[in-house]
Amino acid sequence: MDYLGEILALGVDSILFGICCRLYLKQNNAIKGVQNAEVMDMKPGLEDIVYSQSQHKLPYVAIRGSVKAIGTPITSVNNQNITGTIQKLSLKEHIVARGSAGYWADQERVIQQVYNSVPFVLQNSQTSVEVLDALRSDILDLETIADHFEPSNPSAFDHIWGFFCVRQRGVQRTEEMLREGTYVTGIGELSSSGDGLKLQVPSNGSPFYLTALPISSLVRKLDDQRRIYRLLTIIFGGVGLVIFGIMARHWWRERIRRMQEDLSKRQLEASRKERRKRVRDKNVPDSQRCVVCNVNPREIILLPCGHVCICEDCSEGITNECPVCRAKIEKKLLHTFHNIKPYSN
Ligand SMILES: [Zn+2]
Ligand SMILES: [Zn+2]
């Protein structure tokens, strides 16, 4: 669990890096798609061109035309003279709340958001193309028709409550619409099933756009987003490398410390061995010699069997069984003529 903090940080960073990388690549493909999308002229022969294609469709094209409802358009709730084909009504609450850091900050909360839409076409004087599933488009430019902010009148209780926790500042009502007559660029799949042209969400997964911007401005807008994703990808990638570097340094230092510990342990062992060699009695009778090396005197008592059969040097390599009776060794004691003390390496 030495690296738990680093592993967690690396995990979170990798997820963010992956998300940004994916967004960047997606945006890159989207830009390439828009740049390569063929701009089709809205003219009477267009339907025949599309019908003659395989599966009666062009996978990714751009068309430009003005918005017109097929049936009755939606009338703005704020201005009876404005009609459109998509309407977005939002109700937001503005509050002042104490943030986690302890200071008061303005926040907004969406209370309600409603979309209304009616079937519509993009048309010019010569022909028209019906737009399907407009609400599923990746970019849908709507015009703000009305934006009202109503400040709230707090009661005495609200004042007291607000002093400690949350104060409501008011509610904001917004109406946005895709107005009739707006000149729109639609980029998507153009198909013809014999009953008119239809622009829809591409079945090959490419993004679907309905924007008031010309194509060059749309590309610039997408490119700005791509730049942000690229920057975030680089930042998270860099942070990941730094965390990895910290982990590698941590591991390397730990390794060096262990190697030094091992070395000093071996040096200590060697000097102990040397010391034992110097003080040992050279004239050991055969019956008192270690059964393993047959040179040094018997110095270790093995427990629980109680055999005194090996020297201290050989005992380092013998940890499981007594070489005489094969009993399991549970403990070793250093045996001298004068005293018996616990033995440890
Ligand atoms: Zn020995
Ligand atoms: Zn034994």
For the chain, which residues make up each domain, given as ranges? Answer: 1-36+216-279, 37-212, 286-342
Is the pLDDT assigned to residue 162 strictly greater than 70?
A: no
Fold of 286-342: Herpes Virus-1 (3.30.40)
Those residues whose beta carbon sits under 5 angstroms from the ion ligand 2 are 305, 307, 322, 324-325, 327
pLDDT-based confidence at residue 163 (cuts at 50, 70, 90) = low
Q: How does residue 161 score in pLDDT terms, banded at 50, 70 and 90?
A: low
- In the predicted model, what is the mean pLDDT of the chain? 89
pLDDT score of 300 more than 50: yes
Tell how far the Cα of 310 is from the centroid of ligand 2, in angstroms.
Answer: 10
280 alpha carbon, closest ligand: 1
Q: Where are the beta strands (DSSP E) in the chain?
A: 38-39, 57-69, 74-75, 83-98, 104-117, 120-123, 128-131, 139-140, 143-151, 166-179, 183-192, 197-200, 209-211, 300-303, 308-310, 331-335, 340-342
- Closest-lying ligand to the alpha carbon of 297? 1
Q: What is the pTM of this model?
A: 0.67
Separation of CA 292 and ligand 1 centre (Å): 5
| Residue 344 clears pLDDT 70, i.e. is over it | no
Query: What integer pLDDT is reported at residue 328 of this predicted model?
Result: 94
Report the relative pairing of strands 209-211 and 197-200 from DSSP bridges: unpaired
pLDDT of residue 100: 67
The predicted structure's pLDDT at residue 343: 57
Of the listed ranges 8-17, 59-68, 280-289, the one predicted with least confidence: 280-289
